[in-house]
């Protein structure tokens, strides 16, 4: 239903090519750690003590809202495991529960959400969520993309400022030149970038939005893969509601 409705929505302007979700990656002997290099922090891999754990899928289901999210099992520290799982669950359900609370008496809400593990290793867990949402009556459904990144040592969430020390004009240039990895085909990357970055009147306005992305009001989210820093930006509904870009870690190093 999710992909079918997206295709109908975008058919007028775009040919929709949904990318398949990758399989869960597990690199249990590697740690992603932050290392300063000039003006930017980069993510590097480093061997650490073993902290094997597994992930299972839990499902929230009520009325017409069904949301899947991961939970950690077999973590060495049971107290930390519980703490992290509570953070994951809270963040996974928050957008949907907030929407339910804001519904008018004559409105009905339908949502279907799934997750993808972007990175799983000894140091951190990076989770991306995608969901189909529809409030009736309304003009059209909408699609959410949001993320949760967990530091497994502390149990704290990680945000853009934890991976990039200085969000400046140099970083904006790298973001604008980043690889588009969203739902639409490669042939539409230039149009997508124009829609995404054209929302901001200046680079300074974009810098401010990225700097304050921790509060999620801007609709900007970050995730991490083995090789890249991913950033999800809001975009017009006709282009899918969100667009993802990835910057290779080598590009974040000071030249």
74: alpha, beta or left? (left if phi > 0; alpha if psi -120 to 50): left
pLDDT band of 254, cuts 50, 70, 90 = low
Please state the pTM of the whole predicted model.
0.79
pLDDT of residue 49: 47
Tens-place pLDDT, residues 31-78 = 333 434 443 444 434 344 456 899 999 999 999 999 999 999 999 999
Q: How many CA atoms lie within 13 A of 64 on its CB side?
A: 12
pLDDT of residue 218: 87
Backbone φ and ψ for 3, nearest 5 degrees, come out as: -70, -35
Across the range 131-152, mean pLDDT stands at 94
Please state the length of the chain.
Answer: 255
Across the chain, mean pLDDT equals: 83
Query: Strand, coil or helix: what is 80?
Result: helix
Closest Cα to residue 245, out of 162, 254, 228?
228
One of 3.30.70.120, 3.40.50.2300, 3.30.565.40, 3.40.1390.30 is the CATH number of 2-252, namely 3.30.565.40
Which sequence spans correspond to the domains of the chain? 2-252
Backbone φ and ψ for 18, nearest 5 degrees, come out as: -75, 135
More confident residue, 5 or 248: 248
Tens-place pLDDT, residues 72-118 = 999 999 999 999 999 999 999 999 999 999 999 999 999 999 999 99
Tens-place pLDDT, residues 187-212 = 888 999 999 999 999 999 999 999 99
pLDDT of residue 51: 63
């Amino acid at each position: 239903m999710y992909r079918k409705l997206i295709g109908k929505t975008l058919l007028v302007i775009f040919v929709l090519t949904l990318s398949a979700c990758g399989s869960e990656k597990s690199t249990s002997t590697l740690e992603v750690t932050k290392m300063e290099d000039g003006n930017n922090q980069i993510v590097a891999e480093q061997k650490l003590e073993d902290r094997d754990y597994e992930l299972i899928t839990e499902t929230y289901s009520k009325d017409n809202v069904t949301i899947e999210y991961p939970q950690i099992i077999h973590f060495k520290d049971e107290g930390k495991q519980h703490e992290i799982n509570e953070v994951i669950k809270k963040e996974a359900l928050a957008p949907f529960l907030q929407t339910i609370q804001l519904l008018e008496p004559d409105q009905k809400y339908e949502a279907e959400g799934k997750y993808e593990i972007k990175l799983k290793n000894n140091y951190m867990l990076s989770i991306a969520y995608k969901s189909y949402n529809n409030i009736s009556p309304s003009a059209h459904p909408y699609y959410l993309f949001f993320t949760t990144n967990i530091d497994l040592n502390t149990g704290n969430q990680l945000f853009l400022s934890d991976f990039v020390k200085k969000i400046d004009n140099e970083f904006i240039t790298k973001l604008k030149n980043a690889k588009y990895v969203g739902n639409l085909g490669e042939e539409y990357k230039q149009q997508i970038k124009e829609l995404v970055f054209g929302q901001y009147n200046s680079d300074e306005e974009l810098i401010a939005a990225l700097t304050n992305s921790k509060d999620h009001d801007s609709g900007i989210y970050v995730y991490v893969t083995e090789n890249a820093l991913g950033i999800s930006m809001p975009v017009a509904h006709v282009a899918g509601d969100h667009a993802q870009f990835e910057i290779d870690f080598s590009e974040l190093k000071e030249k």
